[in-house]
Amino acid sequence: MRPEALEAFWDDAGAPELAREYAEQLVALVAEHTAGIDNLIARYAENWTLDRMSRVDRNLLRIAVCELLYVPDVPVRVALDEAIEIAKRFGGDDSGRFVNGILDRIAREEADADAEAPADMRPAGA
């Protein structure tokens, strides 16, 4: 997206500066870690490839997983609840359940694995 188009979006959205900064931070983190995030989602999305997922569901999963792994200030429950609510509002009829199922498994199983990892190898917030 062109910088001027992004600037126009933010002006039109009327988002507070902190929301804008946080959104831009998340976009940068997801872009930096897309391969790892996508591999993790694919591992837990049984019988689904990322290409088969709706764009809304796929990108909500990416953002929520990014928050789980790389944003220590966001509690796990908050990351999950927000992604699920956005999926219900903007996704398809089953998006809330779909996103919830994948994120819940990632949060539970990855948290268990992280608890066994040395402290310096754990994701943020673990």
pLDDT in tens, 54-100: 999 999 999 999 999 999 899 999 999 999 999 999 999 999 999 99
- Give per-residue pLDDT as tens, 35-60: 999 999 999 998 899 999 999 999 99
Q: Cα(104)–Cα(91) distance, rounded to whole angstroms?
A: 18
Which CATH architecture best describes the domain 17-121?
Orthogonal Bundle (1.10)
Q: Cα(65)–Cα(16) distance, rounded to whole angstroms?
A: 24
Q: Cα(112)–Cα(11) distance, rounded to whole angstroms?
A: 42
C-alpha count within 13 angstroms, C-beta hemisphere, residue 24:
13
